[in-house]
Each structure stands twice: as C-alpha cells, then as structure tokens.
Amino acid sequence: EDKVVQSPLSLVVHEGDTVTLNCSYEVTNFRSLLWYKQEKKAPTFLFMLTSSGIEKKSGRLSSILDKKELFSILNITATQTGDSAIYLCAVCNNAGNMLTFGGGTRLMVKP
Amino acid sequence: DAGVIQSPRHEVTEMGQEVTLRCKPISGHNSLFWYRQTMMRGLELLIYFNNNVPIDDSGMPEDRFSAKMPNASFSTLKIQPSEPRDSAVYFCASTIRGSSYEQYFGPGTRLTVT
C-alpha cells in the first residue's frame, strides 16, 4: 500500500520567514509526486515532480524531489499571509493515475 | 472552462436518509475521482473512473456507498442510508488519463448528517 507522510503537521511563522515542508513516501512503481495548496476550499495544483534533483520553481515557491531517499521538500521564501493554507503532498504510481495523499501540513503565516 | 462542478455545495440531512452528490468533470477529461476529506483521516480516495468505467473502488467504505458515471460528463456518489460518521467534505476531481496526472478538484460538497 502506498504511503505518504508529511511533516510538520502544522507550522506558525511570521511574514517574511522562509519555511520548508517535508514529504516522505513509500510507493510501488513511483511515477510522480505532486504538491497541492488547499485554502478554504478545493486543493489547487502547485507542482508535479518526476525526476530527482530538478527544482521546480514558481515565484516564491520551489520544490525538489529525491527519489533515492524517497522524499520531497516544498520551500516558501518571504512568506506572506496569503500563503496560509494546508499543503498537501501526493504520489502517483504507474498502476494508474490514482493519487495517494499525505495528511498535509497546516501553515499559518502571521502578519 | 468552468472547471469541475459539484452540487450541492452543502447538504444537511438526517441519519438514514439517502444522499446523492453530483459531479461534472472538465470537458475532455476522461478520468474522474471521488475523494472524502475529514480532519481525522485527511483526503481519501473513494473510487475512480477511466472512460466512465469504475477502475478501483477499494476506498469505498462500505456497501452504503455507491458511485456511477453514466456518461463522460456526469457522475454521482450516493450514500444510502447515511450515518453521522459520513459527515465530511466530498471532492470530485478530473484529469486526462495518460497525461501529467495533475488532478483538478471541484469545490467540494460539505455533507453533514445529523
């Protein structure tokens, strides 16, 4: 059974801080790892990672995958209050396009 | 595109009643997923369809839950009879099978069973 574990469970920081969110996984026949941001409603897609060591970047957010150690990190620099959300990590295996989600990291950014 | 559409957005019902949740995937997407999200268990996959055919329903909690996809643009998730422990937010998501596997989520249906 595929498994995804995220840490920390929750995090409180102040605006301007840099945060690192962690995602470790166990999956049979890994295909990809995805990061989602969930604010009040539905998860919205951030990144998809398939290859080790290649950083994906979007503005202040970046993510990288280590397929040898089976983990990924999501970095957010110069955090803003609008970054407050639950960040979800999910893995997809080659058996299909099902996603297995981690429990999420709840980030709160204080002014 | 309007994105994934779900209805109703909120549903409050009494224990024992039948509940039907509806989903319209993004046009052209041929894979559809039903998820349930609770504080205790996070986001769980219930069932998914490829080309309207159910592929994996191992996440469906019990026989009270059933899902159908009669055509490419419509799916339902039914709970009969409903129980208080079914209270959760139910999300529908769609994607193009064989593509990047990025799933697009609907706004969810918040179900409360009293």
The 3-state secondary structure of A27-77 reads CCCEEEEEEEEECCCCEEEEEEECCCCCCEEECCEEEEEECCCCEEEEEEC
Residue B104 contacts A where some CB pair is shorter than 8 Å: yes
Average pLDDT, chain B: 92
- Which residue type sits at B88? A
What would the two tokens of residue B5 be? 């559409």
Inter-CA distances, A63 with A20, A52, A59, A102, Å: 9, 11, 11, 16
pLDDT in tens, B28-63: 998 999 999 998 888 999 999 999 999 888 889 889
To the nearest whole Å, the CA of B108 is away from the closest chain A CA by: 6
Least confident of A9-13, B12-16, B83-87, B94-98: B94-98
Residue B12 contacts A where some CB pair is shorter than 8 Å: no
pLDDT confidence of residue B61: 86
Using a pLDDT cut of 90, give the percent of chain A over it.
78
What whole-number distance in Å separates Cα of residue A32 and Cα of residue A98? 11
Q: Which residues of B touch A88 (CB under 8 A)?
A: 43
pLDDT confidence of residue B98: 59
- Does B97 contact A45 at a Cβ distance shorter than 8 Å? no
**How sure is the predictor about A7, in pLDDT bands with cuts at 50, 70 and 90?**
very high
To the nearest whole Å, the CA of B65 is away from the closest chain A CA by: 19
Residue B31 contacts A where some CB pair is shorter than 8 Å: yes
Nearest CA to A18 out of A59, A81, A73, A76 is that of A76
pLDDT confidence of residue B40: 86
pLDDT confidence of residue B86: 96
